[in-house]
Amino acid sequence: MAQDDKAQGGRVAAGLSWRQLIELEACARCGECKGWCPVYTQDAREAICARGKLDGLRGLVRGSLSEGERSVFLESLYECSACGQCHVVCPVRIDTPELWEQARLALGRAGFPRPESQTRALAGIKRHNNSYAKPQAERGLWAERAWQAGLLLAPVRLWRERPAPVLYFAGCTGSLDPAMQFVAVLSARLLQEAGVDFAILGPDEPCCASKLRRMGDETFPQEAAQRIELLRGLGAETIVASCAGCFKGLHGDFARLPGGVLPVLHLTQMLDRLIAAGRLPLRHAVPLRVTYHDPCHLGRHSQIYEEPRRVLAAVPGLEFVELARAGAFSSCCGMGGGLKLANEGLQHRMGAHRIREAEATGASAIVTPCQTCCIGLANGVKETGSPLRVMHLNEVLARAVCPEITPEKVAAALAAGG
Amino acid sequence: MPGSVAYTKPWAVLWGAATLALVYVVVALALKVRSFARGGALPPAPRPAPGRVAGIWLAEVLLQRQLLQLSPLRWAAHLAIAWGFAGLALLSAAHVALPALASVSLDGGAAAWLLRGEGRAIGKAWGNAWGLVLAAGLVLALLRRLIAPPEKAKEGQGTKEGDLPLVLFLLALTLSGFALEGLRHALEAATPERAAALRPWLTALWTAHGLGGVGLVAWLPRSTLLHALLSPLVIALNARGEHPRRDLYWPKTTRHRAGG
């Protein structure tokens, strides 16, 4: 049995990089990560914080974990949103998000089980090429229906019909989640308002596959290679993603694979540039006091902090107030890394915690440019019964640019079209 | 004449223990390196900027900037312990290396100068100064835990078990070094009768201090003290890939300090 454990530990070790194996031993066990960890804040178990997970992984690699310790470690590894807060505060600078994702991959390869809900989700993504188990043919419907409903200035053209300098990558959630399709519609409208020549892939748009990496699926490199080949083959000057998760996948994860450096911008970067160039007229005042929630995938993972704040600062009439924990220290809403699939209740508590932090600013709305965070924060609002409004950054901008288009109108129009 | 004060030093015991400890440490570290080699290649990283990586290493390892951001008291304690250790380790290394080099005439006379000549006083001053720095750091660490524990320690989130005994052990080791120096000075000025009474104490203290130091070295690969060797390495390795990140290496931590 002990030999089996050692052999299994050896297989896990082989799935990590040698630098990560050094990181396991370099942890000073100081516990700084605990004070900041948004998961530990809601569920104070040693195993769940970075120090506990490093302990568990170290034991697993050595083959010295008992049966009970091993199951505690496995549970806690997947009950982590890989938000990266522990990375920012670690005095040793251990690259924890990368470690958790790689550990999940290594454990999968070594035959350890992952939560059933994540296994199902991963199989679904690979089977349907999206996270919503919907036919690919539906991917571009939002654009067609929005045009038919008069929500756009012009039809959004498909790349296969006529390529453009800019490819707008709407992502699974923007394309297929009825509650979040307004993000794609408003993205398209704002790009049109600024006169950007763009096209979408529509039914040809693949899932970015970043969730496979987040949850440690071993087919990620092959799946990503296919996407890289497809996107490179398009020859777009710029790929714009409105989803923070897709952006991290296309911009961060792909860049670590052969040929994976793509000309990707997040929508907020594009809008920031358009506003600075005077191409996006913000004509209407938006008299709101808002605060800003940094999505982990956009902030800590991609270091995009200033652009969304500059966009908000450009909105006339908007009063901005910063959260106590912002930027690199933003508390995670709990939606990332497959945490919601592994422990939904925990995500709700994390969302609620973030909402309470936002309430403390005195703002009437919390704004974020990530639709996944919108969902996570909305769960927090439900959990707390807070009057705080959760707004996508596109919604705030639309109020300043084209106030006749609201998320509610978009949802109604798309639902009527379906 | 400096160094003329004589008392029995069981060198054979100390060298025997030190040899065993060093062999153990070398084997343990070699096994660790072998276990690290089981891992795969590093993912591609941005082109390293040597100047920037060196700057990060200097700030994060030698000046421990991240700890300063997290807690000035913790920073002061940790920096004093780290620098105190480094200063004393350098002196110990010189005491081992110089005679070895002298035996093959490669020391340029430094062994005689530092161990028996005019440099001996400088060596003593160096040892006392870094010993004081180390002791100050350990006292600060102790006070922080016993009198004014940080919020997270009060909430049971503090440094893991085994930390307080380690601090106490290190403090005892440091103080025994000062006691040894004090007794040695007392011996120099003592009458023959008084000296005869002091010598067994000096021998006992010297042996305890020496074996304590050897024990600490032997404990290194099995304890959290290993971070003293591996953390600077990890910081350098990660800085190679992450040197463009200003949010990681120059964060405004104090502005966003977590409530708990």
CA distance B251 to chain A (A): 7
What is the rounded distance in angstroms from the CA atom of residue A103 to the CA atom of residue A5? 16
Whether A301 shows a pLDDT value over 70: the answer reads yes
The partner residue sitting opposite B247, judged by closest CB among A14, A324, A328, is A328
CB neighbour class for A61 (10 Å; exposed up to 12, middle 13-18, buried from 19): buried
Reported as a pLDDT band with limits 50, 70 and 90, residue A363 is very high
Provide the 10 A C-beta neighbour count for residue B223.
Answer: 14
What is the rounded distance in angstroms from the CA atom of residue B8 to the CA atom of residue B202? 8
What is the rounded distance in angstroms from the CA atom of residue B59 to the CA atom of residue B250? 10
Quote the mean pLDDT of chain A: 95
The set of residues, in sequence order, having a beta carbon less than 8 Å from that of A48 and lying 6+ positions away, is A37, A39, A40, A76, A79, A80
pLDDT score recorded for residue A70: 94
pLDDT score recorded for residue B162: 54
Whether A38 shows a pLDDT value over 70: the answer reads yes
Cα–Cα distances (Å) from B156 to A39, A45, A46, B149, in that order, read 16, 11, 10, 11
The partner residue sitting opposite A13, judged by closest CB among B38, B67, B158, is B38
∠ CA A182-A185-A191, rounded to 5°: 135
Reported as a pLDDT band with limits 50, 70 and 90, residue A319 is very high
Report pLDDT digits (tens) over A335-354.
998 899 889 999 999 999 99
N-term to C-term CA, chain A? 57
What is the rounded distance in angstroms from the CA atom of residue A96 to the CA atom of residue A20? 9
Extract the tokens encoding A345.
Answer: 């209740």
Report pLDDT digits (tens) over A365-395.
999 999 999 999 999 999 999 999 999 999 9
pLDDT score recorded for residue A418: 57
Residue-wise over A362-395: b if at least 16 C-beta within 10 A, else e?
ebbbbbbbbbbbbbbbbbbbebbebebbbbbbbb
Q: Does A19 touch chain B (CB under 8 A)?
A: yes
pLDDT score recorded for residue B251: 67
pLDDT along chain B (260 residues), means of 10: 70 94 96 94 79 94 92 93 94 89 90 90 93 96 78 48 79 95 91 93 95 93 90 94 87 58
Q: Does A357 touch chain B (CB under 8 A)?
A: no
The set of residues, in sequence order, having a beta carbon less than 8 Å from that of B187 and lying 6+ positions away, is B5, B7, B195, B198, B199, B202
- CB-CB contact of A363 with A290 (8 Å): yes
Whether A299 shows a pLDDT value over 80: the answer reads yes
Q: Using a CB-CB distance cutoff of 8 angstroms, which residues of chain A are in contact with residue B233? A: 22, 26
Mutation for A interface: B29, B32, B35, most A CBs within 10 A: B35
3-state DSSP: chain B helix, strand, coil percent, rounded to 5? 75, 0, 25
pLDDT score recorded for residue B164: 80
A 77-96 residues with CB below 8 A of B? 87-95
**Would the CB atoms of B235 and A92 count as touching at under 8 Å?**
yes
pLDDT score recorded for residue B155: 45
A 301-330 residues with CB below 8 A of B? 303, 305, 324-329
Whether A1 shows a pLDDT value over 70: the answer reads no
Mutation for B interface: A8, A16, A18, most B CBs within 10 A: A18
Polymer length in residues for chain B: 260
Closest residue, chain B, to A305 (C-alpha): B247
Closest residue, chain A, to B225 (C-alpha): A28
Mutation for B interface: A19, A23, A296, most B CBs within 10 A: A19
Helix axes B119-146, B72-103, angle to 10 degrees: 150
The number of helices, as runs of H, and strands, as runs of E, in chain B is: 11, 0
> Which has the closest alpha carbon to A354: A341, A153, A370?
A370
Report pLDDT digits (tens) over B32-54.
999 999 999 877 777 778 999 99
What is the rounded distance in angstroms from the CA atom of residue A252 to the CA atom of residue A244? 11
Q: Does A360 touch chain B (CB under 8 A)?
A: no
Report pLDDT digits (tens) over A326-336.
999 999 999 99
pTM: 0.91
